[in-house]
Structure 1
Amino acid sequence: MTENTPAADDAPSNWNIPNALTTLRIVMVPFFGWALLYDGGDSVTARVIAWAIFFVAMVTDKIDGDIARARGLVTDFGKIADPIADKAITGMAFIGLSIVGDIWWWVTIVVLVREWSVTLLRLSVLKRVVIPAAQIGKWKTTVQALALGLLVLPLRQVSGGLADVGEVIFYLAQALLAVAVALTLWSGYDFFREVWRQRDDLREPAAD
């Protein structure tokens, strides 16, 4: 019997506000990278522009998810594009900040390997098992965004009376980054452990 089976036409359209915001975040990535790396990362104005772009990306990340869930606009496109958009903007932040010398390269490599391996695995098992977002993952995202947001600012490029303040905030941001890296690794471990726990479901063929 098929009376209770939702019709294909009942599925929300991909043309909606949450998906538009997700697409906007993806489009922002090259502009963010250009602003962050302009003049070798030494331009105060460009770094402020980069921070503004990053801030908008983080805010729209929160907004699009809230709208999608509240209005029933969760789509397959959104499930795939949203994590890609998130990892693209934060990945560009890590790489750009490593290029300008504000983050060690080994930190960037460790974080990006964890982030993209989890994202790709999550997408590959999307239709077979459900890996709910853990609280530690939400903490990781918040602390990571705060640390990167601070480091994108021209903290060490300002002069005069702001120089000392910028230096203090820079090291505060580095401390937050260390916490973010620890949470990133911990949440990654939790994710892979959950996938392993559901390994029997993964062996079953995905439903059409």
Structure 2
Amino acid sequence: MTDKPVPVSAPRVVSLYNPANILTVVRIILVPVFLVLVVATDLTGTGARIVTCVVFCVASATDFVDGWIARRWSLVTSFGKVADPIADKALTGTALVLLSAYDRLPWWVTILILVREWGVTALRFWVIRYGIIPASRGGKLKTMLQIAAIAWYLWPVPSPFDVVGAWLMGAALIVTVATGVDYVIQALRLRRNARGD
């Protein structure tokens, strides 16, 4: 009796043109749309601010949806791994810079957050040959707080409720800095363990 060879299934190929990647591209496209809306309206006028906030929130929502789709249906691609965080940082970074440019948010807050965001991205590339630093729960909380704070600043919230935006941004800033320190520790530990130091 001869053993029949077991057929080896070919590795699953994920199309670049999948719903998760399309949503990521939509978010990238919405960044300049959001920028033009802010510049055109100067963040004045109730209607204009509502439209601007809605565009920002829709773009932000695609971040959560594309990630869920990619994980749920195993549609993770190299393009998505690179484009998704870039799209996130482009959107929140643009919003923060515009809020500071229109005197809605202190510049030091924007600078501190941007230094952390791009610093962590550079850190991940620095240790990529040793391993990948996964997104933490703190990182996800940071993203949600930043989005909530920015949306609050954009929406024409009446006084005294507008002060909630400052509290949300304060919480976002604390979590942003704390998770940034945590990523630095993870990167150094990963590099040390990989090199056997």
Fold equivalence (TM over 0.5): yes
Shift, 1:42, TM fit = 1.4
Partner of 2:3: none
Which structure has the greater CA radius of gyration? 2
1:199 maps to 2:194: no
Residue 123 of structure 1: how far off its partner (Å): 4.0
**Is the 1:36–1:152 contact (alpha carbons within 8 Å) kept by the matching residues of 2?**
no
CA–CA distance in 1 between the matches of 2:14 and 2:123? 25
- For residue 151 of structure 1, give the secondary structure of its aligned residue in structure 2: helix
- 1:174 aligned residue: 166
TM-score normalized by structure 1?
Answer: 0.84
Correspondent of 2:67 among 61, 65, 68: 65
* Alpha-carbon separation, structure 1, partners of 2:166 and 2:147: 12
Percent of matched pairs sharing the same residue: 39
**How far 1:11 sits from its partner (Å)?**
3.0
Pair 1:154 & 2:151 matched:
no
Aligned twin of 1:99: 101
Find the counterpart in structure 1 of residue 175 from structure 2.
183
Equivalent position to 1:133, from 126, 132, 135? 135
Deviations 1:33-78 (A, max 9, x none): 1212324221332221111111111211111000000111000000
Q: Does 1:37 align with 2:29?
A: no
1:15 paired residue among 4, 14, 17:
17
Partner of 1:88: 90
Paired residues, number: 190
Instruction: Flag structure 1 segments of 5+ consecutive residues without an equivalent.
Output: 156-165
Q: CA deviation at 1:111?
A: 0.4
- C-alpha distance after superposition, 1:125-176 (max 9, x if no partner): 4453121222211111111111111111133xxxxxxxxxx12222111111
Distance 1:99 1:69, change over 3 A: same
Quick one: distance in 1 between partners of 2:164 and 2:82?
Answer: 34
Residues of 2 paired with 1:127 and 1:53: CA distance?
Answer: 37
After TM superposition, the score normalised by the length of structure 2 is 0.88
Aligned counterparts of 1:101 and 1:23: Cα–Cα separation in 2: 30
Any runs of at least 4 consecutive aligned residues in structure 1 with deviations exceeding 4 A, and if so which?
A: 201-204
**What's 2:122 paired with?**
120
Q: Which AA in structure 2 matches 1:149?
A: A
Cα offset for 1:124?
A: 4.7
